[in-house]
Amino acid sequence: MTKLVYLHEPGVLCNLARRYGFNEIYTYTGRILIAVNPFAKLPHLYDMHMMEQYKGVQFGELSPHVFAVTDASYRAMVSEDRSQSILVSGESGAGKTETTKLIMRYLTFVGGRSTGDIRSVEQQVLESNPLLEAFGNARTVRNDNSSRFGKFVEIQFDKSGRISGAAVRTYLLERSRVVQISESERNYHCFYQLCASEQDADKYKLAHPRNFNYLNQSHTYELEGVNEAEEYLKTRRAMDIVGISFSHQEAIFRTVAAILHLGNIEFSPGKEFDSSAIKDEKSKFHLQMAADLLMVDGSLLLSTLCYRTIKTPEGNIVKAVDSSAAAISRDALAKTVYAQLFDWLVDNINMSIGQDMESRALIGVLDIYGFECFKYNSFEQLCINFANEKLQQHFNKHVFKMEQEEYKTEEINWSYIEFVDNQDILDLIEKKPIGIVSLLDEACMLGKSTHETFAMKLFQNFKAHPRLEKPKLSKTDFALSHFAGKACSMTSISCKTCLEFHCF
Ligand SMILES: Nc1ncnc2c1ncn2[C@@H]1O[C@H](COP(=O)(O)OP(=O)(O)OP(=O)(O)O)[C@@H](O)[C@H]1O
Ligand SMILES: [Mg+2]
């Protein structure tokens, strides 16, 4: 890119397209690697021979490659004795997760011990990927294997530059997907894998996904070229390698099955006004299954869903809820159980792999999920987009602000590159005491808040804020103009996120 005569957007895009035409999917712009998703298997790009080639070679000497960036980061860690991090960003389906896996594979190649031990730290680190993907990835309209969580993998190295431990930190798992999926999308892969698992599916009284409310909303069950029964065995194998005990594995899948049964519990109006009862025999069966699998009392589970306990200074008041509120409680329980299961799985992976408290330095790899803008955006999208705004700010700081500082100290006269500083939207969201999150906190504490009052409060506090807009036909929505510019072209695209407050 730096060799282009005219460095402008059409030139950059043309260069990328021409290179892509020759299967040159990687390009550098300075020290930033641009990868264009090939959507095809290119094994020759990633085989052992390729890894050997890039090992220890000066950055920029060979063709641009993800191994070159990883090698540079590893060498910098060894020679400067400083931790490094690699940030992988891009829109959904761009190839972040695949790239992250390649980075991890290269690091296990240069920092591995080559013992051939299937339970080595390196192998455990690599196998944590399919495991996390089974529970945290799903089909979306953009990607059959879309990560619905963010992940920061820390690979720790000892004094001799060998991998000595690892830790996985995850962020913002999309909880709403457990109970609600849009047309042509799917729920998390693990549900379909378990349904296809034959013996285990029988054991937990599961059947084809079309029989479960949490899976049949989108009428999409299969993934092209994927055999779910085989994937189930792969997930089990990954669990073995990572070091998750058999009894824990059983507990994990028991919980997954319980969630599916939970989703099939339906309610009808109860005898009294504003009360609810279990709908029919089918629902009773699923209630009992869910209770048995979760090892709780069935009738207690039912009354927990159909009644609400309100704490008052005079004591607890138990109040019946109507059937739609009971269904909301059921879904809240399913989402919470799944999110806890996911966090527990991550903790277990970390415990099994083990941390090296005395590690010399580490290389962190960040694979978060990109900016999102759907027809309806909930609190989850607000959080994801906020995280992306933060990353954008970080990127701006590093690449532009620091570069400008360097030019200033060297007294080089140059016309400053313009970049859009997104501090104003960060302030709008996070500033204390008045920002969207603080106002939301306040609204949640006041018992009388409604979607309307919250939206009103926002518009009162941020009158004529350039980033905040009130959609014409709604009293509860608000629109945020995010910064979602692409790093390579530095264009700033304003994308509006209407937040449906209902989802809070
Ligand atoms: N380097 C690559 N070689 C071959 N195929 C690739 C490569 N990178 C990505 N792909 C293909 O693109 C698909 C999507 O990639 P990936 O899941 O990594 O996207 P992502 O950026 O992580 O998206 P999301 O934000 O939705 O998680 C992969 O399943 C794979 O088929
Ligand atoms: Mg991904």
Residue-wise pLDDT for 115-146, tens only, equals 666 678 889 999 999 999 999 999 998 899 99
Of the candidates 370, 378, 485, 500, the residue annotated as catalytic is: 370
147 is catalytic: yes
13: its two tokens: 């895009």
**Per-residue H/E/C for 207-232:** CCHHHCHHHHCCCCCCCCCCCHHHHH
160: how many CB neighbours lie within 10 A of its CB?
10
Asked whether 96 lines ligand 1 (CB < 6 A), one says: yes
> Quick one: what percent of the chain has pLDDT higher than 90?
69
Q: Whose CA is nearest to atom 8 of ligand 1?
A: 95
199: how many CB neighbours lie within 10 A of its CB?
7
Question: Rounded mean pLDDT of 108-117?
Answer: 78
CA distance 497 to 504: 15
Rounded mean pLDDT of the chain? 89
**Ligand lying closest to the C-alpha of residue 90:** 1
Percent helix, strand, coil in the chain, to 5, is 50, 15, 35
For the stretch 436-449, pLDDT in tens is 999 999 988 887 88
Asked whether 146 lines ligand 1 (CB < 6 A), one says: yes
Of the candidates 70, 89, 129, 146, the residue annotated as catalytic is: 146
CA distance 289 to 204: 8
Tell me the CATH number for domain 379-503.
Answer: 1.20.58.530
Tell me the CA–centroid distance for residue 367 and ligand 2, in Å. Answer: 7
Which range is least confidently modeled, 150-159, 297-306, 402-411? 402-411
Asked whether 39 lines ligand 1 (CB < 6 A), one says: yes
175: how many CB neighbours lie within 10 A of its CB?
21
323 is catalytic: no
Angle of the 379-396 helix axis to the 423-430 helix axis, nearest 10: 140
Helix (H, G, I), strand (E, B) or coil at 499: strand
- Would you kindly state where each structural domain of the chain is located, as residue ranges? 379-503
Asked whether 94 lines ligand 1 (CB < 6 A), one says: yes
> Quick one: what percent of the chain has pLDDT higher than 70?
93
Question: Rounded mean pLDDT of 323-333?
Answer: 96
**Ligand lying closest to the C-alpha of residue 151:** 2
For the stretch 193-240, pLDDT in tens is 999 998 999 999 999 999 999 999 999 999 999 999 999 999 999 999
Residue 498's pLDDT band, with cuts at 50, 70 and 90, is very low
143 is catalytic: yes
For the stretch 421-437, pLDDT in tens is 889 999 999 999 999 99
pLDDT of residue 112: 87
CA distance 303 to 126: 44
93 is catalytic: yes
Whether cis (ω within 30° of 0) applies to the bond prior to 466 is no
Beta bridge partners of 499: 377, 478
Per the annotation, binding residues for ATP are 90-97
